[in-house]
Structure 1
Amino acid sequence: MKKMILSGVTALALLTGGVIGSGSIGSSVEAAQATLKFKDVPSTHWAAAAINSAVEQGFFQGYADGTFKPSSPVTKAEMASILGRLTDQPNAAIQETNTFTDVPEWAKSGVSAAIAKGFISPANYNRKLDAKASLTRGEMATWLAQGLTVVDSDFKQALSDVTNTVIPAKEYFTGKLASNQKNAVAVALGTGLMSVANDKNFGTDRTTTRAEVAVLIARYASVAKTKPAEFQGLNELRAVGLTGTNINIIAPKYQVFPERRLPKSYDYSRVTDDFSMIRNEELVTVTNYADLRLKNWIVVNPYVKFNERSIYYPVFVDEKDQLIRGAYYSFVEFDINIKDSMNQLQGGSLINSATINPLRSPNSEAVFAYNVPRISELLGARGIFNVKNPVYWAEGLLHFDKELDPDVLLVLKNGTIYGVTANH
């Protein structure tokens, strides 16, 4: 795919502290000044390179006073005008009509073009775009994710696959991530289009700035020419959405339990390595204090670096964390129905597994930063659960060493057996 650039006529309608014709954000500088550095964008600015590139490509101009105003918000009309001019973005197969009644005259053609290219769906609005309002990050994620579905139909499938996934953002764990933006946020994070802030929030309600847009223009062009399957993070999010676990991506050596190693009393035809078969289903427990279900199971390999890491690494693991003998981290979201009362130790006795272990939650700084629900938040006096239906994340170890019990064997009350072990 060629670099996404503006069409030749766009020079008359560029963002110049907004879009020319908006009359709302300051005057433009001469085209010759476009490549000059801005006095409010030092070389150390996190988006300096992207800003200069966006200016050189004609997406932005600076202000007459020599500034760029990188922290200034971008309106919906302005962003739509930029997206509408991405010349290598194909048109959507099904064309929607621009039915918005509140778009200023200068932005009408740009908004219509953004609709034609699939970024904006008028069907999601009630005839009003609120065009002059600042674009939020949540809506930005939605627009960009929708644009990707036009580029490659597998992005459309990915957008569906992540419906039930675990989102590596604080809002997900606090229940503040709007359901109508969740899938788009997942795709934006999984492709690296967007990221969480220092406070670990995605910031769906935060406004999008000129600096962020400059960065996103380049990132979108890069993501759009990459196959969805090439993004490990997106693959994990899709796997967790569809099956409840990322084990097949992070620990592919774990495969279905061999028949020869199971007791003859087991019906091997009921054995599976498909976690979706046991996700949210009642498990057979060792003790009878509670009924137990597994909602999600996240595996993290702590030994790889940076871009090879699980997308969930920063949610659960600190850089300083160390393991022994090649073990991976195992993080399980438990859904427990307590029959009478139960303390923490009794909860740990429900399943006898070093990997699927309900006894203790992770204590990493990351877990606290992301506000991941932990067992200690659900305990009262003498370690007794103070709720009947606790849902929390616990930490175990996924071993590869045969001497340290690498088997994961779970039996459902309906007879289905989930059995995997490290294939040496």
Structure 2
Amino acid sequence: MKKMILTAGVTALALLTGGVIGSGSIGSSVEAAQATLKFKDVPSTHWAAAAINSAVEQGFFQGYADGTFKPSSPVTKAEMASILGRLTDQPNAAMQETNNFTDVPEWAKSGVSAAIAKGFISPANYNGKLDAKASLTRGEMATWLAQGLSVVDSDYKQALSDVTNTVIPAKEYFTGKLASNQKNAVAVALGTGLMSVANDKNFGMDRTTTRAEVAVLIARYASVAKTKPADFQGLNELRAVGLTGTNLSIIAPQYKKAGQDKFPESYDYSKVTDNFAKIRNKELTTVTSYADLKIKNWIIINPYVESTNRSIYYPVFVDEKDKLLRGAYYSFTEFDISIKNSMNQLQGGSLINSPTINALTSPSSKAFSEYGPKHINDLLGPKGVFAVKNPIYWGQGLLHFDKSLNPGVRLTLKDGTNYNVIPN
């Protein structure tokens, strides 16, 4: 069998980077693949074993002299840049930036320059220093990969803009700990399935990226880069919520604008809309006058589908055991309420007379408590009276399809704009 061929420079690089190959040839891919099977710390049952095999076969990683791979060891920025710079299917960015980093080790300079040329890293986002020897965080990893995707397909670049005001299915979003300069990239990473939240429901923006994770991400990135953004339902939802405030058109496209025949002839039909963006964050006409009310976001979840057909928001709001009757979908609304004097929970529930847009209660699911969105109980004082004048929280309702249950959703602004949709 042919021995693995490594140039002297590559051998030195592998030693410097703890087993990451940044340039040069790797020789027999078969031998490289077999080598991974001998790693003492990567049994065949390891969650990333297949990805590690592939990454070593392609020459992105090497093992260590003691026969280990060290899958849990962190990867530095310089190492990751070298890996990204070697992705041969990645096109170069149209606008080329200069590598002006002053702290990149000699062995990594060409790799960092290649990663910049391919659009993964933008020196303009840094102040002359990459902090190249520091471990790469997951937040920065999401940024690099999302920027790379925007070079592959301009619609990914558009997606990065579309998700600016979206609801992100990660605990840090709901607890206010998601850095604004990485929020959009995290949304795209989650929406494409490129990255995911951990068991604690956090994306883990400040957590380091391990060698095993990078091996998986290399394969995932290659797959995502070959897929059109529109083919990811999760990303479509995130974009829709970012642009309009709701994912209704993705999850329940049967809901359309009520036809003119549903209104009296004297009604000004030009005021009717099915564009939720036109009423989002604007004062609604309420049934009772205890408070002024706005809707920040409206999330719909179909609990009857499985796997990739599920809403990307399913894990945030719904437990696996939760099912509904008569074909209803779940409806979750983020309310922004300005109380005039005082208001209790029941009075809050009377503001909008709708089983779908319901401010009376918040989800009681375990998932909801783990992700940490604001619950109505967090805002109530004695006897169910709101303890704050401006409560913002998520309410739970039902989106019906059974016409005997009057399934239409009607919301009217104080200026007369009428959001009115019914299932067709």
Same fold (TM over 0.5): yes
Distance 1:343 1:399 in 2: 27
Distance 1:418 1:382 in 2: 34
Distance 1:205 1:283 in 2: 39
CA spacing shift, 1:265–1:361, aligned 2, 3 Å: farther
Q: Read off the aligned partner of 1:75 and give its amino acid letter.
A: T
Alignment of 1:134-173 (within 5 A): 134-173=135-174
Q: Alignment partner for residue 14 of structure 2, among 13, 20, 35? A: 20
Asked if residue 68 in structure 1 is aligned to residue 69 in structure 2, the reply is yes
TM-score (norm 2): 0.94
CA spacing shift, 1:329–1:27, aligned 2, 3 Å: closer
- How much has 1:66 moved relative to structure 2? 1.1
- How much has 1:10 moved relative to structure 2? 8.5
1:35 paired residue number: 34
Q: Read off the aligned partner of 2:14 and give its amino acid letter.
A: I
1:395 is paired with a residue of what secondary structure? strand
| Contact kept? 1:408, 1:419, Cα under 8 Å | yes
Unaligned runs of 5+ in 2: none
Distance 1:418 1:27 in 2: 56
Q: Read off the aligned partner of 1:336 and give its amino acid letter.
A: I
Distance 1:93 1:307 in 2: 34
| Contact kept? 1:10, 1:85, Cα under 8 Å | no
| Contact kept? 2:335, 2:395, Cα under 8 Å | yes
TM-score (norm 1): 0.94
Deviations 1:68-103 (A, max 9, x none): 100000000000000001111000000000010000
Q: Read off the aligned partner of 1:52 and give its amino acid letter.
A: N
Unaligned runs of 5+ in 1: 1-7
Distance 1:57 1:232 in 2: 30
Deviations 1:347-371 (A, max 9, x none): 0010000000000100001101101
Alignment of 1:333-372 (within 5 A): 333-372=334-373
Distance 1:325 1:10 in 2: 65
Distance 1:246 1:327 in 2: 16
Distance 1:34 1:327 in 2: 50
1:108 paired residue number: 109
1:400 paired residue number: 401
1:119 paired residue number: 120
Distance 1:157 1:116 in 2: 20
CA spacing shift, 1:51–1:276, aligned 2, 3 Å: same
1:4 paired residue number: none
Distance 2:215 2:359 in 1: 45
CA-atom RMSD in angstroms: 2.0
- How much has 1:142 moved relative to structure 2? 0.1
- How much has 1:263 moved relative to structure 2? 4.2
1:211 paired residue number: 212
2:304 paired residue number: 303
Distance 1:33 1:67 in 2: 14
Distance 2:32 2:254 in 1: 57
Alignment of 1:279-294 (within 5 A): 279-294=280-295
1:212 is paired with a residue of what secondary structure? helix
Distance 1:152 1:21 in 2: 36
CA spacing shift, 1:308–1:124, aligned 2, 3 Å: same
Aligned residues: 413
| Contact kept? 1:19, 1:78, Cα under 8 Å | no
Q: Read off the aligned partner of 1:418 and give its amino acid letter.
A: Y
CA spacing shift, 1:110–1:406, aligned 2, 3 Å: same
Alignment of 1:166-205 (within 5 A): 166-205=167-206
1:61 is paired with a residue of what secondary structure? coil
| Contact kept? 1:168, 1:311, Cα under 8 Å | yes
- How much has 1:266 moved relative to structure 2? 3.5
Asked if residue 277 in structure 1 is aligned to residue 271 in structure 2, the reply is no
Distance 1:240 1:86 in 2: 32
Distance 1:79 1:396 in 2: 45
